[in-house]
Amino acid sequence: MTTTLYTSDHEWLRIEGDVATIGVTDYAQSQLGDVVFVELPKVGRALKKTEAAAVVESVKAASDVYAPISGEVLEINSELAAEPALVNSDAAGKAWFFKLRIADRSELGGLMDEAAYQKHIA
Amino acid sequence: MLAAEVSASPPPLKQTPLHALHVSRGGKMVPFAGYDMPVQFGPGVLKEHLHTRASAGLFDVSHMGQIVLRPKSGRVEDAARALEWLVPQDILALPAGRQRYALFTNESGGILDDLMVANLSDHLFLVVNAACKAEDEAHLKEHLSDVCIVEPMRQRALIALQGPKAESVLKKFDAEIPAMKFMDTAARRLAGLDCFVSRSGYTGEDGFEISVPAEAAEAFAKELLADENVLPIGLGARDSLRLEAGLCLYGHDLDPTTTPVEGALEWSIQKSRRKGGARPGGFPGATAILDQFEHGAPRRRVGLKAEGRAPVREGASLFADATSQSPIGSVTSGGFGPSLNAPVAMGYLPPSHSAHDTTVFAEVRGQRLPLRVAPMPFVLNTYKR
């Protein structure tokens, strides 16, 4: 089964087995404004939790996307790199950033569920 | 991933006469030059930018300083001659009803502020940057008080209406508006209000800047916004529009350490104030600036276009090649140009690297990104000359 978790930095993680798919939340995209560029990590890179993993740039500013958990990058969304505006149109779906092989499941314990995240942004 | 929000109580911000209107129209308010200003409205920076280029945008620039220089003699040429002590521009030859871009310089030739100077027949009207207005007022009073009364117009708002439909919108208030040309300026009555109107702006588009009495500004702005072609535009799009137009942002692209020649603003200094002219020099830093006219400057402001899609932003160091250790310059403004649908920037480079089509490299997140020195404006302006 699939579980979706959230960080206080407005990233979502969809957990399927030992793979986490990571993106930014709809709230994040609404704050960023029109996204014009996304830089994604290299496949195979071993990311440590809280390390800068990707960059999302709007007309206004650049923001880092941090690795919410540690793990190896298995896949990146090349469609997103070609069409950064997907972040604005479908943040929780087509605009996923990268997939990680989860290195340490205990790190998931520090993340929020949907209800806690909704409270966080309320 | 978003910048941490500041939770400490913010310093008291000033409000323009249009503040309540911005809030009611959904403006996202941010601190700017001591004012609480809209950075964007509902449509967002990208759409606001494109709307201005396609139709008409309304900008609140009331935070800027409006200053009248009233000659004590009653003769505007006395005020013009006095202002030439502080700026390298020809103000004496500025005809009534015309406006000109000018610079306050310091003794080393650096730029203290950039401004607009209009000749309104019996006085001069200046518009200066918000962040500099207190210093500019003091500077004018210190040097010109024998000749002029320096009157800050604190009870006036300033509204810019920019874009290809600006003329047709403003014409409804004053049938004479279409007769104005780029940089014409006039005292006009619009909607029953005493206004100063100039055909100018900060977007590269045709448009107008209208000084209106503060107490009537909101009602007037609402009348302009009632036209379906007009949308309110925030500071975000104001910045991307002026960057595409190759226009300088003071405090970023120009500052007290950059001279007019370094800033590629020689065009703003008329021949009369240069060596061999009718009134050469006579402004702060004249020796240094006029020497650079003859011998060049150690660096120059240039336009930069990226080869890739990654925006290169203010502060990025510039390098001669992909591996060299010492930077040769830096980016002073940069971002994404919505009309170009590509990143654009401006920055300073030495003469060896400032020719068009020279490739330099910006360091962004540890990577060297190639940039090409490109002519400005990046987007052709549509001024009505």
- Model confidence pLDDT, tens digit, residues B359-377: 999 999 999 999 999 999 9
**Any bridge partners for residue B301, and if so which?**
B348
Output the pTM of the full model.
0.94
Q: What is the pLDDT of residues A13-70, one digit of tens each?
A: 999 999 999 999 999 999 999 999 999 999 999 999 999 999 999 988 899 999 999 9
Chain centroid, CA B284 distance in Å: 21
In this complex, which of A31, A39, A57 lies closest to B2 when CB atoms are compared? Answer: A31
Tell me how far apart the alpha carbons of residues B309 and B304 are, in angstroms, rounded to a whole number.
Answer: 13
What are the residue boundaries of the structural domains of chain A, listed by start?
3-112
| pLDDT band at B4; cut points 50, 70, 90 | very low
Q: Scanning every residue of chain A, which has its alpha carbon at the shortest distance from the alpha carbon of B46?
A: A34
> What distances in angstroms separate CA B19 from CA A87, B63, B217, B242, B326, one per listed residue?
31, 11, 10, 23, 46
φ/ψ of B287, rounded to 5, equals -60, -50
From chain B, pick out residues whose CB is under 8 angstroms from the CB of A98: none
* pLDDT tens digits, B8-33: 566 789 999 999 999 999 999 999 99
Nearest Cα to Cα of residue B333 among B351, B347, B352: B347
Residue count of chain B, please give it.
385
| Burial annotation B157-187 (CB, 10 A radius, 16+ → b, else e) | bbbbbbbbbbbebbeebbeebeebebbbbbe
Residue B2 has pLDDT above 80, yes or no: no
**Which of the listed CATH numbers 2.40.50.100, 1.10.10.10, 2.40.37.10, 2.40.50.140 matches domain A3-112?**
2.40.50.100
pLDDT for A72-88, tens place per residue?
A: 999 999 999 999 999 99
Q: What is the pLDDT of residues B231-289, one digit of tens each?
A: 999 999 999 999 999 999 999 999 999 999 999 999 999 999 999 999 999 999 999 99
Tell whether B25 lies on the interface with A, counting CB pairs under 8 A: no
Cβ-nearest to B46 among A28, A31, A59? A59
Q: Which two tokens stand for residue B116?
A: 């607009």
Name the DSSP class of B82: H
pLDDT for B9 equals 65
Q: How far apart are CA B358 and CA A68, in angstroms?
A: 41
Chain A environment of B365 (Cβ under 8 Å): 39, 55
The arithmetic mean of pLDDT across residues B155-174, rounded, is 98
β partners of residue B305: B344, B372
DSSP H/E element including A114 = helix A114-121
Give the nearest partner residue to B311 out of A11, A31, A37, using CB atoms.
Answer: A37
Summary mean pLDDT of chain B: 96
Q: Does B329 touch chain A (CB under 8 A)?
A: no
Minimal Cβ distance to A64: which of B1, B335, B343: B1
Taking CA–CA distances from B47, the nearest residue in chain A reads A34
Distance CA A98, CA A53 (A): 9
Q: Is A59 within 8 Å of B310 when comparing Cβ atoms?
A: no
